[in-house]
Structure 1
Amino acid sequence: MRRRTNRRIGLNRGTEHLRICLLFLALIVGLSACGLKPDPIYRSYTGKEKRGKGFTRPPARDRSPAGDKGVRASDAPYEKGRLKNETYSLKSTSFEWKIANELLPFLNTPYKYGGESVKGIDCSGLTRVVYLNAFKKDLPHKAAWQFKMGEPVARNRLKAGDLVFFYARDSKRIGHVGLYLSDNQFIHSMSGAGVVISDLRGSYWTKYYAGARRYVK
């Protein structure tokens, strides 16, 4: 783990729970989450690209470039700086270990529209990379497309690894996605802030919550 990262991961062997403490240094508040400049480094899906099992080609009217727009960081609450005495518990199964292992490299990663690396990543890029590397699940790099896949999950049935989706402020289109941890906390990437943690119970996230999906049982 990087020295700059203030969160530590440890295993409580007595209860067989993996406790993830993702502590971040201060993150600068930006303008919007999931995409400002249409300059993606990840190209959208075409007929020549390799698709993983379960991939569904989006309808013609929804074949916009990879990346997402919506959610202003100034309007949406998220955790910045050091989060004291907060832990996110994941049962120590191979599923949760894989998720934790893929999330670690992205601590303090900056935001980049269309990004899929530790040099920069956006919201759907983060969820795509985690699922591709951990489970070989090839999700498209677009929140709206990811929302059309998987199994719907009720909010009170959420568990680690589920993806949570939100509408864009100016429309009923899906504009943002995050990965659920536990205790109403989810991790996601916001423009101007990078990879951060937010609480689903926040007023903004409650207002624009669209639903959740599960891709691996």
Structure 2
Amino acid sequence: MKPIVKILLTTAVAAALAACGTSAPPNTAKTKKRHAAVARSVQPVRITHIDRTQAEQELMLQSMGLVGTPYRWGGGSTEAGFDCSGMIQFVYKNALGVNLPRTARDMAAASKKIPDSRLKAGDLVFFNTGGSSRYSHVGLYIGNGEFIHAPSSGKTVQTEKLSKPYYAKNYLGAHTFFY
């Protein structure tokens, strides 16, 4: 191996190892910049090949069948339980065959923000519930001012009203994947 290549490889490995051992504390400017860069790298998800009415029905059936499933941070299956984004990812995959990003933040980045007046069943509703990301919680809108979600540890997948004070106060808006 040529000496210059060996030096470059050694430097790259050392830099990678050093990066693994360091991380910025949550909510620092460096962390926020990194989160913004990740959000920019998320590919948009656009659903144009599925009839919207049929998609709404499939998403509703799939999501309502999950009511009562235990919450589990990082969970994404009926056996393991669900966190909020794991539930959304599961529902879209099983109802429509559509792969979504894993986190609420990345789902927000991959979708299109819409006014509440255009909110339809199957669209996503986002909240800032005090997590490390502005988009720290997500639910699936089911109509009539209600959404279904996996709320938090110790609870189960359930429906809620958007007008409930806690959710109304933390509501960030609606997004869609349908074009």
Structure 1 pair 201/104, CA: closer, same or farther in 2 (3 Å)? closer
1:147 aligns to 2:108 (yes or no): yes
- Does structure 2 retain, via aligned residues, the 8 Å contact 1:113–1:122? yes
Q: 1:100 aligns with which of 60, 63, 80?
A: 60
What is the CA-CA distance between 1:156 and the residue it aligns to? 2.2
What is the CA-CA distance between 1:185 and the residue it aligns to? 0.3
| Bigger share in helix | 2
TM-score normalised to structure 1 length: 0.55
1:209 aligns to 2:163 (yes or no): no
Is 164-173 or 115-124 further displaced after alignment? 164-173
Residue 72 of structure 1: aligned partner? none
CA distance in 2, matches of 1:177, 1:107: 16
Count residues in correspondence.
Answer: 131
The one-letter code matched in structure 2 to 1:122 is D
Q: Percent identity?
A: 38
Greater RCO (Cα-Cα under 8 Å, separation 6 or more): 1
Mark the structure with the bigger radius of gyration.
Answer: 2
RMSD: 2.2
CA distance in 2, matches of 1:125, 1:166: 15
Unaligned stretches of 5+ residues in structure 2: 1-31, 39-51
Structure 1 pair 172/107, CA: closer, same or farther in 2 (3 Å)? closer
CA distance in 1, matches of 2:58, 2:64: 10
| Bigger share in strand | 1
Structure 1 pair 170/96, CA: closer, same or farther in 2 (3 Å)? closer
CA distance in 2, matches of 1:172, 1:125: 16
Unaligned stretches of 5+ residues in structure 1: 1-58, 64-91
- Does structure 2 retain, via aligned residues, the 8 Å contact 1:113–1:121? yes
Residue 61 of structure 1: aligned partner? 34
